[in-house]
Structure 1
Amino acid sequence: MVILQLLVVVYLSVDTTALGNNADIVCHQCFDVASPEDCQEYVTCGKDEMCFTREFTNHAGKRGYHLGCESTRTCRILQNAAILFGKRSVQTVDSVDAPRGRSSREAHRCYRCCNGNLCNQNVCNTTVSNSGSGGCPPTFVKSRSKCYYVANWNVTWDEARLDCQRRGADLVSINTAEEQLFIQNSTRPGLDFWTGGYYAPATRGWEWLDGTNVDYTAWYPSYPRDKTNEYEYRIAVRSRTKYNWFESIKTASHSFICEMGHI
């Protein structure tokens, strides 16, 4: 009874701007996946619901994840219960006010809610770095300062960017020769990959999606070539070649590389 009374106080005192009322938010939704990054299903939440990811230990003793929509009220109670009382008390609240699909017998490791479209795939840090201060999500390759996801299937540039954003990343920006070499060594030979480089008509130059100018370059000889519709072109790279940058119209189909910082 004392615990529930304290939770009510916490619930009423939470800043509603952090966990606000939402409608029509799209979230990843999967049940018992090995990693949040394995979840490729989506659901539209209802009013006063948020995205959530919940880590647990299943009956076989293996780590798993549930992702989907959760009521804002439940998010407030469970997240603050974890802060105030620890994991054991969260299980107690679970048995009293259990969200759908949950069991009080499950061992909690991570429970996070977030307020934005497809935001619940990277809210639980599932990879711990072996060196340095940060790690990368599963399926990402780690460099000294970044995490990269290499997709070996072909899509348009817009489709590639949307896929990266769903993973909590964006198309890669190649800013140094060191980064160029790392990417070359991390990709499959013979494939072409989209990057986040694009032609900006306002500046009449090439820029990256991270807001930086394209200063370091590795264009093929005689590239980029002059075109009357340069704004339709993006920077693509060809794997395992010395000069491997070329411009490609954004509706062409290439593989792609996503990039994000360490988590």
Structure 2
Amino acid sequence: MEEIYANVDYVKPVGLRPSTNQTSRSGSDRRFLGAVVLLLGLLSFVLLAGLIGLGVHHRDSAAEHLAVRENLTERLQASENKTSSLSREIERLQTLSNRVKTCPDGWKRFECTCYLVSVETASWERGWQDCTSRGADLVIVDRAEEQLTCCSHGLQIKMDDMTVPQKMKPEHLDRPLVAGLQTFLTKIAKKDTWIGLMDRDQEGSWKWSDGTPLTLAFWWTGQPDNGGGHPKYGEEDCAVITANMGTDKNWNDLRCDASRPWICEKNAN
């Protein structure tokens, strides 16, 4: 038996030695796996970059939407404030419109005051007496601002048969209601007409018929001149408003005994 096993040659297993083909295939597999891993890494990087980009875009969009919403909110609030202000103004005007003011027959209304141009002509003193007998005064232009406070502001000044813009030549007319009244009186005066202004008590110290001093004047250029010293004109101590002249400079001084029409004024009822 020992001889039989001794004559048998040892044969080395062929399968235990790696072949060249197997080694080549293993290297290819490793390169393939490496390429796959690299590709997956690149894809992961691209996805990460995309996610970061989307996050930044979303943040910017959210900020932009927030700014738009805040802007719209501010505009809506401003619109509501304007609407509220307009509603209050409409209520105020409606209240004023209910205060209907009327004048006697023959008188013309300017806002809350009535005016009458006399048919006859006479001295300044006679005109003042006539106005007083009617429960009125010789017109006092300078107190129009106080007289007309009951009427609406910011609109046009409305009167019988005419309309005068409330804002007029700001370089000349400081107070718009006085300016409107001055224009109105110029239109209704057909000739030189007495107004309630005089300086009989003290030369050069002009006062209205109620004793208040003159503060806003519309003297014609070179006036008042007290007659310029000419004897034929005498002492010119009373004032007239002159028709057919510019409304900002159309007052003149005359002798108080000159015969002229006059303008009376009293509050509308």
Q: Structure 2 length normalisation: TM-score?
A: 0.44
Q: Higher helix share goes to which structure?
A: 2
Q: Quick check: which has more Rg, 1 or 2?
A: 2
